[in-house]
């Protein structure tokens, strides 16, 4: 090997090694950067020149250590996690609103109401008992209306969160499009644009929590992002989602594509979970509660209308006014004149309490679910189903969080920078280099001895 060839090869090798160490420096300085992927210098042997002797190594490129399969899995699990998280959160709020079992829940209000009628049946003439019935009726009505308001609030909250999430989706879409453009330009210069790609991956990770997305990678480095079969990002262009108020759905927002106004189809992710809660799960549970309250109103009003007031003349009065859970109230006339309560069963016996007894007995009547369930049983079913749904949603959310955590660890083991690992590697390098130096020195001493003779 000629000395010049040897020196060239050494110089090239040293430069290569310096760049490799620079990559380590970059890794270490980004140890706390979210989404950062470890970078390594890819070295390649330089082919032999005229002398036939190898020319050492040179930098072939810088690689970003990333497992695309883990990324794919991570995003697939992330939108499920987002969906379950959103569902668990909304359902839990609904469960808290019911407040069961407890003294302030609807069950206690129903019990109080029918017990008051029972008491009135025992003493139909006493104004205290009549007052207690009106009070219990107002408590029941108030509890029902409060539930209705709370359910509406939860749906409105979900709607607000959807609007906010859509803003974030659009912002991320714009970010991804801008990064696409920069990545294409940088890669055209031969630079792998590793840091920009990390930044874009981080944005895509967040996007996958918000919505179910499909990412298509192209050879020039850019990605297209699809939501529900439509492109959110194509190269450097963004087709944003536009929230449009829908008067037919309580003025909540519908999502449409800016390009043509077509509806956005989001099945999963945080937005998917919130849409499902706002438009399906919560309305279904609200409808159950409305059915219960409406049934109570109808039944009580029907029986009350057949009874007689204390004057033995007045009859045909309703106890409750309103159309359902949202506006149920005790008839103001009854509250103003307690004697109008129809506790009597007949005009001739306005004080016999049989009217009150008939209303009290409604509590045991199976008037719901096609004559199979009492009010209490029906309501228990509602609360139990909600409780199960909350537990399921929480369990799924926790399970997804665990899966995400596992995938994150997998990703870290591939792409993450670990200072301890770098330290261990460095110590190994140090020892290896030391041992190699010692052997070189010993052999050189022997060569010196030989050179004295030859």
Partner 1 sequence: MITAGTDLTGGADGLVAVMEAQGDVYRALLGLAASEQGAIVEGDVSRLTEIVRLKEELYDHLRALETERMTALVAIEAATGIAPDRATVSEIASQLPSEHATTLLRSGRELRAQAVALEEAQTANARLLEQSRALVDRWLQYLRTLLAGSVYTPDGVTPSLPGGRALDRSA
Q: Which of 10, 258, 333, 366: binder of partner 1 (CB under 8 A)?
A: 10
Helix, strand, coil distribution of the chain in percent, nearest 5: 65, 10, 25
Q: Which lies closer to partner 1 via its Cβ, residue 222 or residue 411?
A: 411
Q: Is 384 buried (19+), middle (13-18) or exposed (0-12) by CB count in 10 A?
A: exposed
Q: Which lies closer to partner 1 via its Cβ, residue 1 or residue 284?
A: 1
Q: Which lies closer to partner 1 via its Cβ, residue 19 or residue 301?
A: 19
Q: Which lies closer to partner 1 via its Cβ, residue 40 or residue 401?
A: 40
Q: Is 9 in the site for partner 1 (CB under 8 A)?
A: yes
Q: Is 420 in the site for partner 1 (CB under 8 A)?
A: yes
Q: Which window, 28-36, 317-325, 369-377, 399-407, contacts partner 1 (CB under 8 A)?
A: 28-36
Q: Which of 50, 336, 348, 451: binder of partner 1 (CB under 8 A)?
A: 451
Q: Identify the helix (H) or strand (E) that includes residue 59.
A: strand 57-64
Q: Is 262 in the site for partner 1 (CB under 8 A)?
A: no
Omega into 195 within 30° of 0, i.e. cis?
no
Q: Is 189 in the site for partner 1 (CB under 8 A)?
A: no
Q: Identify the helix (H) or strand (E) that includes residue 410.
A: helix 375-415
Contact 209, 244 (CB under 8 A): no
Which stretches of 231-281 are DSSP H helices? 269-276
Query: Site residues for partner 1, window 422-441 (CB under 8 A)?
Result: 422-423, 425-437, 439-441
Q: Is 412 in the site for partner 1 (CB under 8 A)?
A: yes
Q: Is 6 in the site for partner 1 (CB under 8 A)?
A: yes
Q: Which lies closer to partner 1 via its Cβ, residue 68 or residue 423?
A: 423
Q: Which lies closer to partner 1 via its Cβ, residue 7 or residue 258?
A: 7
- The residue among 66, 352, 364 whose CA lies nearest residue 199 is 66
Q: Which of 50, 219, 260, 449: binder of partner 1 (CB under 8 A)?
A: 449
Which single residue is written with the structure tokens 């020196």?
7
Residues pairing with 349 in the sheet: 346
Q: What is the DSSP letter of 46?
A: P
Strands (E) located in 229-274 = 230-234, 237-238, 241-246, 252-257
Q: Is 14 in the site for partner 1 (CB under 8 A)?
A: yes
Q: Is 76 in the site for partner 1 (CB under 8 A)?
A: no
Which stretches of 30-126 are DSSP H helices? 68-98, 106-122
Contact 215, 224 (CB under 8 A): yes
Q: Which of 18, 160, 167, 384: binder of partner 1 (CB under 8 A)?
A: 18
Whole-number Å distance between alpha carbons of 311 and 348: 10
Contact 228, 267 (CB under 8 A): yes
Q: Which lies closer to partner 1 via its Cβ, residue 1 or residue 402?
A: 1
Q: Which of 32, 219, 261, 370: binder of partner 1 (CB under 8 A)?
A: 32
Q: Is 37 in the site for partner 1 (CB under 8 A)?
A: no
Q: Is 202 in the site for partner 1 (CB under 8 A)?
A: no
Q: Identify the helix (H) or strand (E) that includes residue 215.
A: strand 213-217
Binding-residue pattern over the window 54 to 73 for partner 1, x denoting contact by CB under 8 A: x-xx----------------
Q: What is the DSSP letter of 152?
A: H
Q: Which window, 210-218, 267-275, 354-362, 416-424, contacts partner 1 (CB under 8 A)?
A: 416-424
Q: In the numeric block, which tokens belong to residue 444?
A: 């050189």
The SS3 of residue 310 is coil
Q: Which window, 22-30, 101-109, 219-227, 242-250, contacts partner 1 (CB under 8 A)?
A: 22-30
CB of 199 to partner 1, least distance (A): 17
Whole-number Å distance between alpha carbons of 120 and 357: 8
Contacting residues toward partner 1, per CB under 8 A: 1, 3, 6-7, 9-10, 13-14, 16-18, 20-21, 24-25, 28, 31-32, 43, 45, 54, 56-57, 409, 412-413, 416-423, 425-437, 439-444, 446-447, 449-454
């Amino acid at each position: 090997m000629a000395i010049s060839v040897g020196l060239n090869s050494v110089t090239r090798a040293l430069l290569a090694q310096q760049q490799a160490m620079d990559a380590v420096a970059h890794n270490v300085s980004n140890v706390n950067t979210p989404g950062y992927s470890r970078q390594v210098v890819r070295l390649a042997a330089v082919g032999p020149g005229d002398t036939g002797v190898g020319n050492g190594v040179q930098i072939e490129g810088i690689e970003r250590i990333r497992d695309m399969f883990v990324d794919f899995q991570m995003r697939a699990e992330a939108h499920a996690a987002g969906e379950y998280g959103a569902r668990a959160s909304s359902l839990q709020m609904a469960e808290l609103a019911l407040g069961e079992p407890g003294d302030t829940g609807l069950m206690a209000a129903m019990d109080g109401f029918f017990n008051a009628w029972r008491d009135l049946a025992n003493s139909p003439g006493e104004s205290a008992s009549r007052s207690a019935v009106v009070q219990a009726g107002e408590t029941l009505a108030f509890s029902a209306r409060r539930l209705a308001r709370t359910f509406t609030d939860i749906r409105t909250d979900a709607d607000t969160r959807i609007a906010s999430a859509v803003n974030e989706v659009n912002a991320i879409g714009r970010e991804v499009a801008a990064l696409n453009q920069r990545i294409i330009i940088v890669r055209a210069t031969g630079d792998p644009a590793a840091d920009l790609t990390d930044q874009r991956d981080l944005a895509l990770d967040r996007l996958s929590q918000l919505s179910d997305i499909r990412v298509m990678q192209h050879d020039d480095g850019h990605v297209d992002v699809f939501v529900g079969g439509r492109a959110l990002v194509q190269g450097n262009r963004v087709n944003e989602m536009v929230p449009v108020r829908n008067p037919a759905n309580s003025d909540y927002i519908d999502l449409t594509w800016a390009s043509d106004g077509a509806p956005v189809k989001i099945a999963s992710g945080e937005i998917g979970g919130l849409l499902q809660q706002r438009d399906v799960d919560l309305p279904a549970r609200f409808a159950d509660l409305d059915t219960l309250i409406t049934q109570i109103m109808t039944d009580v009003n029907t029986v009350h209308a057949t009874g007689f007031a204390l004057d033995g003349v007045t009859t045909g009065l309703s106890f409750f006014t309103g159309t359902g859970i949202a506006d149920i109230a005790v008839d103001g006339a009854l509250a103003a004149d307690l004697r109008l309560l129809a506790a009597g069963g007949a005009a001739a016996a306005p004080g016999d309490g049989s009217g009150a007894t008939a209303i009290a007995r409604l509590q045991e009547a199976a008037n719901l679910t096609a004559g199979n369930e009492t009010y209490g049983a029906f309501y228990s079913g509602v609360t139990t189903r909600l409780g199960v749904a909350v537990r399921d949603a929480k369990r799924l959310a926790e399970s997804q969080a665990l899966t995400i955590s596992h995938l994150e660890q997998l990703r870290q083991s591939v792409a993450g920078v670990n200072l301890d690992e770098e330290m261990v590697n460095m110590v190994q390098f140090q020892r290896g280099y030391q041992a190699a130096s010692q052997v070189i020195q010993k052999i050189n001493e022997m060569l010196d001895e030989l050179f004295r003779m030859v």
